[in-house]
């Protein structure tokens, strides 16, 4: 029974990610939404390149990615091997940690949220930080990021043999 929990957690994470990228909530990720995602993560991707990516992944040929296509892509991309998955999360964390201090500041989080179309008020950002910043130091460390992304699926970094 315990082996099924990561799959449920992974599916929840995939769906949450999809809903953040799908800004207009129409159930489809457009070329523009995909390009903005890449640019938010500091990958320079043009509209043309995003269009080519979608064309290569779009199984129903509608020019967009729906939740089923996104889930299929993410399930094939996100590793089931804990060590590989941990490295994938670390790479994502490092993309957000633009000042490379080993933490995600409120400013870095606000930038990501804003560029993903989430226009949060200062009060919303405070509430978000309170929810994520479990040790209340004003920053999100990698362990807190892992807990945000996967719940209790992964071990905290200091308990891992890396």
The predicted-structure confidence for 23-55, as pLDDT tens digits, reads as follows 889 999 999 999 988 888 778 889 999 999 999
The pLDDT assigned to 44 comes to 86
pLDDT tens, residue by residue, 114-149: 877 777 888 988 888 988 999 999 999 999 998 887
- Strand 28-29, strand 65-66: pairing: antiparallel
**Residue bearing the bigger pLDDT, 14 or 125:** 125
The pLDDT assigned to 142 comes to 95
Does the domain at 82-151 match CATH 2.40.240.10? Answer given as no
Burial code (b: 16+ CB inside 10 Å, e: under 16) for 118-143 equals eeeeeeebeebbeebbeeeeebbbbb
Question: Which residues is 104 bridged to in the sheet?
Answer: 140
The band of 151, judged by pLDDT with boundaries at 50, 70 and 90, is low
Rg for the chain, CA atoms, rounded: 16
> 4-77 and 82-151 share one CATH topology?
yes
Query: What are the extents of the domains in the chain?
Result: 4-77, 82-151
Domain 4-77: give its CATH code.
Answer: 1.10.238.10
Q: What is the C-alpha to C-alpha distance for residues 128 and 112, in angstroms, rounded to an integer?
A: 13
């Amino acid at each position: 029974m315990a082996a099924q929990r990561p799959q449920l957690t992974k599916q929840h994470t995939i769906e949450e990610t999809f809903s953040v990228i799908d800004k207009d909530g129409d159930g489809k990720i457009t070329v523009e939404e995909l390009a903005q995602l890449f640019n938010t993560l500091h990958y320079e991707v043009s509209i043309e390149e995003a269009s080519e990516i979608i064309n290569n992944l779009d199984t129903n040929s509608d020019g967009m990615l729906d939740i089923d296509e996104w889930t299929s892509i993410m399930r094939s991309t996100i590793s089931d091997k804990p060590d590989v998955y941990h490295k994938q999360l670390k790479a994502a964390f490092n993309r957000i940690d633009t000042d490379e201090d080993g933490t995600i500041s409120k400013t870095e989080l606000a930038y990501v949220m804003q560029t993903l179309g989430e226009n949060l008020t200062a009060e919303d950002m405070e509430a978000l930080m309170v929810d994520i910043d479990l040790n209340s130091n004003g920053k999100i460390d990698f362990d807190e990021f892992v807990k945000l992304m996967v719940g209790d699926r992964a071990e905290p970094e200091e308990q891992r043999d890396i």
